[in-house]
Every structure is written in structure tokens, then in C-alpha cells.
Structure 1
């Protein structure tokens, strides 16, 4: 039997129940997993709250590392005992589960399970944003919101390694210091400074080439004011609420700007793309270009507490649940 966090109806963290569930044998193209570490991500809260609709009941979570315990028919790329990690498959908040084999990523030697579970979803998000949504070139300048968050700490280090000038935002002095220590050339405390005005000051009035914004509604309008003409705003999250643009002419008025809403499903849906992103991510960690910070761990049974901390902006870096 597996123990899992089940959402029977959407709502706040209290709707998550810790229950026993039977796990059968893997079907064709599936593997059975025993989880060793589970990643916590904002998408988990979006699904639990109903912002991203998922048919209930469902097991929460989208990212985990573990050991393969059984192979379904037709699975030839793995063997029992292999260490793997995955992201983007709902049902991760469990001690055991079945999952699609073609979404499994082998964990390289030298990467422990907690690190793998902490970085795959966030790191692959950073990968497609920095390498594909806007292929970042040395000498360009970026603004990354929530630079002290799990994705932010990975992405700003990676962007710096690529030769960019990195400006970050954070919501407290402690978080600005953390972001500065992880790749940011400049960090703006958005609770005490007008970040758009400060960005203009830091760039001598030009603006940045690209803004990466996982915060959403609270930062979107001023993010447009941070861009140089024909710059790009990559809005990849909704931590403060969903963004809407009632008047597209705002993009013309502010300099013929571009806006995109990328998702991992569109960039990483094919296995070769998934493996290439993971290869580059793990190589960056192994080289020291990305230093991983697992800031907190919670027992799986305490997932509701972890959600409250994440939504309350009480976390920095990556958070891992331990089965």
C-alpha cells in the first residue's frame, strides 16, 4: 500500500488528506516507483486550489525522485533498481506510484535524490526560458522576479554563467541577500523600491532585453515598463494572480513589446527535448555553475504545512517533501 496526499475537492491546504492507496502492477509503458524525495512547486498549489482545473479526487504533486521497483510490458530503457526523477506527472505526493516510463529521467552519479527532486521541474523551467523562449546571449540584461525562489535561484545562476547581466527582485532584505549570492548583479527589494524605476536607473534608461515573471498579476504592468523597445516579457507563473491584457495596444505604446505565456508541456513534451534539458541542467550542477539550495524539508504527511509556507512567501530556494 502507498500513502498519498489526496485532494477530494479543491480549496485551501486543509483539503489535502493523507490516505492509504493500493498500487497495482505497472501496465504497458509504465514503471512502478518507490519515492525517495518529492519536489514542492507552485503548480501544486494551483491544482489544489482549482486555478488549474484537475478532476477530483487526485493525488497532488508533479515532481519526485525514486527507485524503479517494477517494469511494465515494453519498457526496455530502465531496469529495476534504477534511480530516476520526473516532473510534469501529477500524482507525486505518494510513497509509491505507477508512472509513464518515457517521462523518467535517469539521475546521474554525483546527484543525490533530494537534489534531483528539488531541481528538475524548476531547472527545466529555467532551461526552456533561458535557452528557448528567449535564447539568452552573453552581454544581454535580464530581470528575474522572485529571484530568491526555487526557480529564481537556479535561473539567475545559470543566466550569469551564460554571460548575462542579471537583475532580480525579492520581497525582503534576507531574500535580496540570498539572490545576490546566487548570480544576481543587482537585486531590488520590491517592498521598498519601485522596481521599474530602479531597472531604468540600472540600465541607464534603456531597459532590459527580457523580463522573466513567475509572479503574475502584481508585477505584470510594471514589468512592461522595464523592457527596452521590442523586448520580451515571459510570463510563466501566477503566484499573485492570473494576468490579463484587455488592451493589446499597450504593447505598441511601450515599444512594440512581445509577451509570451510559455509552459513546460509545450517545450518538453517530446522525450528528446526532455532529456536534452535534463542533460544540460545536471551538467550545470555538476560543473558548479548552479549551486542547489534545498532550504527546507517536510514530511509528506505535512504537505499542507508546506503549501501554507510556499503560498505565504515563507520559503526560499527549493522545498522537498520526504516520504
Structure 2
């Protein structure tokens, strides 16, 4: 028997319950992973609340964890029992002691990276990889805007941008979060509660504004993000922390300078093993070399059975960086 987190109805964190179950064997193209550390991501709250409903109920939750392969399917050749692995694109159910995962969605973990580092950084790091390297390729010395720079994705983006020699301008809502992002490598920070973001962008760029904005906030920042863009600039809307962007009048893209907009996700960029290998190798080399540091504070580590408390903490907007469930 093993323990996992399930929910049978949409709602607040209290719908999450720990239940016992008997893990099934992995299918021929799957591996069974005994999780050692489980990543908590903001998208998990969207699934729990019903913004992104799961395929069926009751449902598991979570897609990211690191652990040890305990069984392999008959067709799996590149991964073996005992391998240290990490994954971020499993079927829902990673909030569990044991989880079966498609083998092509699993990366073998270098010994230099701990389970906790991996689970805290894999989904977020792969997200930063596709954003800064694929959706729009950030160049050295380039100035760009990245909202929520002190969040889990944001702090990795600050470090990655610095490694690329680029100038990340971040937003955050407190002096403490601004300081954390600056320490991670942000070039400049804007306090969105006290400052007008488009005005500050014009000041920082000498009136030129930026060619790309990365926005995971959604509804609340949609129009101000567009106002930060140069003519024919790109708005990358990759999350909905304040609610989804809906009812968009495409004419606004014309009015604000023939702008482009994209709504990407990891599953549109990592679709096969070759793409997974390229992304994970680049991420792992940056973590193993210390260019990207991944730290999880004791206050943001939660026992698996306390997933509801972890979600309450995440949604309170008091966390900085990544949070983990520990089986």
C-alpha cells in the first residue's frame, strides 16, 4: 500500500485528502517512480479549483517529482531500476509516494543534483528554458520584462537571464521580494504595488520599451504588459495567477503597435525524448555548475499528508521560490 493525495470535488485547499491505494504495475512504456520529493506548482491550484478541470473524479494532483525507479515497463530501454530520475509532465497523481510515468517524460538525474533540488526546479526550469530559449530567444544585453520575478519560475529566470548576459526587469509586490530577485540576478526591479510599470519600463529603457514581456499573472497585468512593448513586440502570456485573460479584442494589438501575443505551455515545446534531452541537459548543467541555485526553505517543505496546508501557503502569496511535498 502507498499514500497519495486525491480530491473528489473542486474547491479550496480543504478538498485535498490523503488516501491509501495499491500501486499498479507500469505499462510497457512507463516506469514506476518511488517519489522522494514532489514539486508544488501554481497550476496545481487551478486544477484543484476547477479552472482547469481534471479528466475525471476523484482525481490525483501534481505532475512533478524526483525519486528512484522501482519498476520499468517491458518496452523501456533507456532507464533501469535504481536510476535516480525527475519528471514534470506526468499524468495527474505525482502527489503520491509512488507514481507511474511515461518513460519519455523522465530524465535521469545527475548525482550532483539532489532530489529536492530536482523536484523544486524541473518544471519551473524547463518552463524558463522554453520561454527564454525557444518562445523568444533572449540575447546578451537585451532588456525584457518578467512578471512575478520572485516566484519559483521567476527566480530561475533571473539566474538564467544573468547567465545569458541579459537584463531582466522584474516585478514583485514587496521590498523583500524585490531584494530576493535582485540577488538572483534581476537587472532592475519594479514594485507593482507602488510604481506604474509601463512608466518605469519607459524610464529604464530610455523610452524604447522592450521587445518581449513574459507574463504569468494574467488578467490583472494584461493591458499594462502590452503598454510595455515596442512596436511589433511579443507578449508571452504563460499563466493566470490573477485569473485568465478572456474576451480579448484583437484590435488592441493593432492600436498598441501591431503586437504579437502567444499563450505557450511546456507541452507545446517538449513533445518527445529529443526535446526533453535538450532542455534537461541545459538545465542540469546550469544547476550542477552552481549558475542556477535552487534552495527550498524549511517553511516551504511540507509532509505529503499536509498538501492542503501547502496550497493555503502557496495561495497566500507569501512564498518565495519553490515549495515541496516530502513523502
- So what's the TM-score if we normalise by structure 1? 0.98
Q: Which among 284, 290, 293 is matched to residue 291 of structure 1?
A: 293
Per-residue CA distance 1:159-181 (angstroms, 9 max, x = gap): 12112111000011110110110
Q: Which residue is 1:30 aligned to?
A: 30
Q: CA deviation at 1:245?
A: 4.7
Q: Aligned equivalents of 2:67 and 2:229: distance in 1?
A: 42
Q: Which residue is 2:147 aligned to?
A: 145
Q: Which residue is 1:314 aligned to?
A: 318
Q: Aligned equivalents of 1:210 and 1:222: distance in 2?
A: 13
CA contact (8 A) 1:210 1:227 kept: yes
CA contact (8 A) 2:104 2:272 kept: no
Q: Does 1:80 align with 2:84?
A: no
Q: Which residue is 1:57 aligned to?
A: 58
The alignment of Structure 1 onto Structure 2 pairs a total of residues equal to: 323
Stretches of structure 1 lacking an aligned partner (at least 5 in a row): none
CA contact (8 A) 1:2 1:97 kept: no
Q: Which among 106, 118, 127 is matched to residue 125 of structure 1?
A: 127
CA contact (8 A) 1:225 1:254 kept: yes
Q: Which residue is 2:181 aligned to?
A: 179
Instruction: Evaluate the alpha carbon distance shift between residue 195 and residue 319 of structure 1 in structure 2; reply closer, same or farther with a 3 A threshold.
Output: same
Q: Aligned equivalents of 2:184 and 2:241: distance in 1?
A: 22
Q: CA deviation at 1:304?
A: 0.7
Structure 1's consecutive aligned runs of 4 or more residues displaced over 3 angstroms after TM superposition are: none
Q: Aligned equivalents of 1:97 and 1:257: distance in 2?
A: 42
Q: Does 1:17 align with 2:17?
A: yes
Q: CA deviation at 1:244?
A: 2.2
Q: Which residue is 1:45 aligned to?
A: 45
Q: Which among 211, 214, 239 is matched to residue 212 of structure 1?
A: 214
Q: Aligned equivalents of 2:180 and 2:99: distance in 1?
A: 35
Query: After the TM superposition, which residues 168-317 of structure 1 pair with which residues of structure 2 at under 5 Å, given as runs?
Result: 168-295=170-297, 296-317=300-321
Per-residue CA distance 1:254-307 (angstroms, 9 max, x = gap): 111111000111101112111110100011112222111223211111111111
Q: CA deviation at 1:84?
A: 0.4
CA contact (8 A) 1:9 1:15 kept: yes
RMSD: 1.0
Q: Aligned equivalents of 2:145 and 2:250: distance in 1?
A: 22
